[in-house]
Structure 1
C-alpha cells in the first residue's frame, strides 16, 4: 500500500478533525503533534476521528460529487454533455482515462483516507480508562466507544466496497480486488487482495459493526448524519444486492421495513426532501454539508444545474425522461432540455447517501429473485403511491417484472450514482455515448476498461506491491 496516501491522510485527519472537535479542552497543537505517538484516551478524540471519516466521504472527489457522477456518466440514465464547454467526466465516459486521471486518483485517495481514519478508531487501545465529558459511568463510556468503533467498521466496509467497484477486476476480466489495510501503518507496502478476499473483509466489517452497536434505541434513527444499526443493515442490503445474495437482501429489507422508522417521501415533499438537512422521513444516511462546508462550484449541484447555478454538464438521457408518466412528480424535476433540476439544487445540500426508496427497490428486486412476488409488488407500490403530482399517487401496479423494477430504479435514483454499478452487477452491456448522448459503442463484461486505472502516484511508490489494472499502458 502506498506510503504517500497515509502520510497525506494523517495530515488531513489532523487538520480536519482537530478544528471541528467539540471538546473545549481539545488542544489543536497537542493533538497535531502527539496523536500518532500515544493512544486516544477520550471519547471526544475518538469522535473527532469518526467525524473525520464523514469529512473524507463528503469531499468533491468522493460522495460530494465525483463518485456519484462517475456512476451516471457510464450509465443508461445520464451522459456527459460537452456543449457548454465544461468537459467534466469526458475521460470517464469516453473510456480514455490514464493512470494519472484525477477521476481515479481523487476517489482512491479519499476512500483510503476513510479507511485510515477508521483503522485508528478500530485499533485504538487506550492507555488508561477512557473519559468522556458527557458521563463518568464506565459502562456508558464503553457503550459509546463500541458505537464509535461500529461506525468505523461500517465506514471501512463502505470505502472498501466503493474501491472494489471502482478498481476491482470483478467485471473487467480479472480476479484482483483492492489493497485492504486493517491497521494504520504509514510504512506498509501491501499488495492487492483478490475480489473474494475483499468481499470477505467487507462482510466481516459489516457484521462487526452490527455487533458493536448493539440493540438500537427508539430514537437511534433520528440522527441521519451518522451511521447507526439501521444504516448498517441498509448498507448490507446494498452490498448483498450487488453480490447477488438475494436471500440476505430480502431478510435485511424486511427488518428495515418492519422497524417503521422510515417512510417513502410524499410527492408534495419529493423535491424539497433533497434540500432538507437531517429531517426527511426517507433519509437513512446523509452526509452533512451545510453552509459551513459549502462545496461551491465543485458540488454535485453544479454538474446537474445550468447557469447561473451550475455547469449543466450531466444531462438525463431523453429516453429515460420519456419513460415517466405525465403525472409523475419526478418528471417535474427534469427540464425539457433534460436538465436534472429537481434534486440537488444548492451547493450546500446534504448528500442523501441512502434513501428508504432505494431499500424498497433493493427488496423488490430480491423478492423477484427467489422470494415473494406479492412482497415485491408491495414494496414497489409503496413508492408508486407517493409519486403522483395530481393526487399524490400514480396508478398502482397489479404485477411487476424485474424490468419494471430496473426502470423504477432509474426513474427514482437518477443522478444519485447508481446506474453504472446496476448494469455491471446484472452483467449487462454498457453503452458508450458521445458528448451529445449518442451511442458510439458498447462495452461488455470482461472489458479491461470497465475497471478504473490504479493511480500513477500509487504505482510510482518505490517497492510498491500494487499491480496496475490492464488496459491503460501503465
Structure 2
C-alpha cells in the first residue's frame, strides 16, 4: 500500500468544515484541527474521528451516490440513460473503464479514507487517562471509548467488504482481494491480500465491533446516524449472505427480529420514510446529510429524478417495472417515464444504508437455504402485509421459494445499490445494456471485467506493491 491511500486519513482532513458537515448530531469542533496525528486523549477527539468516518462514507463517490448507483447500473432492474443523462456511468455501463476512471478512483479513495480514520481510533493509545466533558467516571468514559472503537471496527469491516466487492477478483476469475491496512501509516507500502484473507479480516472486525460495543442499551436503536449493535448485526447479515454462510445469517436476523426495535414501514409511508431523518421505524443505520450538507447535483436524487430536480440518469427497466402488481405501493414510486422518483426525492435526504426490510429478506433467503420454510414465509409476509396501496397489504404468500424471494428483493430494494452484487453472489450472468436499456453482451462469472480497475494513482507509484486487475487499460 502507499501514500495515496492513507494520506486521506490524516487529522488535517477533519477541518472545521468537515466536522461540521455530518448534520446536527456532530460534536463540538472547538479543538484539535491543528493537532498532528498522535495519541487522542479525550472522548471528544475519538468522536471526531468516528464522525469523520461517516463523512467519508457520505461522500458522493461512496454511499452519497456513486457506489449505490454502480450497483444498479449493472443490475437487472435499472440502467444508465447516459446518452440523455449527462453521461453519468457510461464507462461502468459499457464496461469500458480504465485505471483512470473516476467511478473507480472515487469510491476507492473514500473507502480507504474511512478505513484510515477507523484505524486511528482502533489503535489509539492515550498518554494517560481519557477525559470527557460529559463524565468524570472512569468506567463511564471507558465504556464510551469502547463503543466508539466498536463503531470504528464496524466501519473498517464495511469498507473492506465494499472494496472486496468492487476490486476483488472473486467473480472475475482470480483469487486476489484488496489491501488490508490495519494501522495508520501514510508511508506504508502494502500488497493486496487474497480474497480469503480479506474475508477473514472483515469477519474479525465485525466480531470485534460487537465485543467492544457490549450489550445494547434500551434506547440505542433511536440513534440511527451511527452504527449500533443492531446495525453491526444487520451489516453482518448482509456480508454473510454474500459469503453464503446461511446459518450465520439466520442467527443474526433472528436476533434483530427478536429485539422488536424495528418494524416494516407501512405502505402509506413507504416513499416518505426515505425523507425522514433519524426517525423512520425501519431505519437501522443511516448516514446523516441534512440541509447543511446538501449533496446537490452530486446526490442520489439528482441521478434518479428528472428536471428540474435532477438529470434522471438512472431509469427502471420497463420489463422489471411490469413485474409489480397494480396494488403494490412500490410501483407507485416509478413514474410513467420509468424514473424512480419516490426514493431520495431530496438531495439532502439521509442515506438509509440499512433498512429492516433488507434484514427480513436476508433472513428469508437464508431460511430457504437449510433453515425453516415456515420462518422464511413469515419474514416474507411481514413485508407483504405493508405494501398494498388500497388496504395497506398485499395478499400473503402461501408458498415460497428462492425465486420468489429474489423477485421481492428486487422490488423492495431497487435504487439502493444491491442489484449487481446480488447477481454476482448468486452466480448469475450480467447483461450489458445500452443507453436505452437494450440488452447486449452477456457476461458470465469469471469475466475479468466483472471487477473494477485499481486506480492509476495507486498502481503507478514507484515501488508500489499493489498489482492491477487484468483486463483494464492504464
**Fold shared by both chains (TM-score > 0.5):** yes
Output the CA distance in 1 between the equivalents of 2:429 and 2:370: 24
Number of equivalenced pairs = 469
Q: Which residue in 2 is equivalent to 1:245? A: 245
Q: Which residue in 1 is equivalent to 2:27? A: 22
**How much has 1:337 moved relative to structure 2?**
1.1
Q: Which residue in 2 is equivalent to 1:267? A: 267
**How much has 1:23 moved relative to structure 2?**
3.3
Deviations 1:429-473 (A, max 9, x none): 001010000001101000000010000000111110000000013
**In 1, are the aligned partners of 2:387 and 2:394 still within 8 Å (CA)?**
yes
Q: Which residue in 2 is equivalent to 1:425? A: 425
Output the CA distance in 2 between the equivalents of 1:85 and 1:258: 44
Deviations 1:209-262 (A, max 9, x none): 000000001111000000110000001000000000000000100110010000
Q: Which residue in 1 is equivalent to 2:213? A: 213
Deviations 1:87-108 (A, max 9, x none): 1001001000000000000000
1:166-245 aligned at under 5 Å gives the runs 166-245=166-245
**How much has 1:16 moved relative to structure 2?**
5.1
**In 1, are the aligned partners of 2:41 and 2:131 still within 8 Å (CA)?**
yes
**In 2, are the aligned partners of 1:250 and 1:363 still within 8 Å (CA)?**
yes
Output the CA distance in 1 between the equivalents of 2:27 and 2:251: 38
**In 1, are the aligned partners of 2:27 and 2:47 still within 8 Å (CA)?**
no
**How much has 1:82 moved relative to structure 2?**
2.7
**How much has 1:83 moved relative to structure 2?**
4.2
Output the CA distance in 2 between the equivalents of 1:211 and 1:440: 48
**In 1, are the aligned partners of 2:85 and 2:312 still within 8 Å (CA)?**
no
Output the CA distance in 2 between the equivalents of 1:204 and 1:291: 36
Output the CA distance in 2 between the equivalents of 1:85 and 1:158: 30
Structure 1 length-normalised TM:
0.97
**In 2, are the aligned partners of 1:300 and 1:347 still within 8 Å (CA)?**
yes
**In 1, are the aligned partners of 2:287 and 2:350 still within 8 Å (CA)?**
yes
Output the CA distance in 2 between the equivalents of 1:68 and 1:407: 19
1:456-471 aligned at under 5 Å gives the runs 456-471=456-471
**Superposed CA RMSD:** 1.1
Output the CA distance in 2 between the equivalents of 1:103 and 1:285: 25
Q: Which runs of 5+ in 2 are unaligned?
A: none
Q: Which residue in 1 is equivalent to 2:450? A: 450
* 1:256 is the counterpart of 2:261: no
Describe the SS at the equivalent of 1:400. coil
Describe the SS at the equivalent of 1:33. coil
1:390–1:275 distance in 2 versus 1, CA, 3 Å? same
Q: Which residue in 1 is equivalent to 2:77? A: 77
**How much has 1:319 moved relative to structure 2?**
1.1
**In 2, are the aligned partners of 1:189 and 1:465 still within 8 Å (CA)?**
yes
**In 2, are the aligned partners of 1:14 and 1:32 still within 8 Å (CA)?**
yes
* 1:7 is the counterpart of 2:7: yes
Describe the SS at the equivalent of 2:33. helix
**How much has 1:378 moved relative to structure 2?**
0.3
Q: Which residue in 1 is equivalent to 2:313? A: 313
1:69–1:129 distance in 2 versus 1, CA, 3 Å? same
Output the CA distance in 1 between the equivalents of 2:391 and 2:182: 52
Q: Which residue in 2 is equivalent to 1:436? A: 436
1:293-304 aligned at under 5 Å gives the runs 293-304=293-304
Deviations 1:17-52 (A, max 9, x none): 55566337x33xxx233331x310000010000000
Output the CA distance in 2 between the equivalents of 1:125 and 1:85: 49
**How much has 1:15 moved relative to structure 2?**
5.3
Output the CA distance in 2 between the equivalents of 1:13 and 1:195: 32
**In 2, are the aligned partners of 1:82 and 1:313 still within 8 Å (CA)?**
yes
**In 1, are the aligned partners of 2:82 and 2:89 still within 8 Å (CA)?**
no
Output the CA distance in 1 between the equivalents of 2:221 and 2:266: 19
**In 1, are the aligned partners of 2:19 and 2:51 still within 8 Å (CA)?**
no
Output the CA distance in 2 between the equivalents of 1:115 and 1:325: 43
* 1:33 is the counterpart of 2:34: yes
**How much has 1:85 moved relative to structure 2?**
4.3
Describe the SS at the equivalent of 1:442. strand
**How much has 1:7 moved relative to structure 2?**
2.1
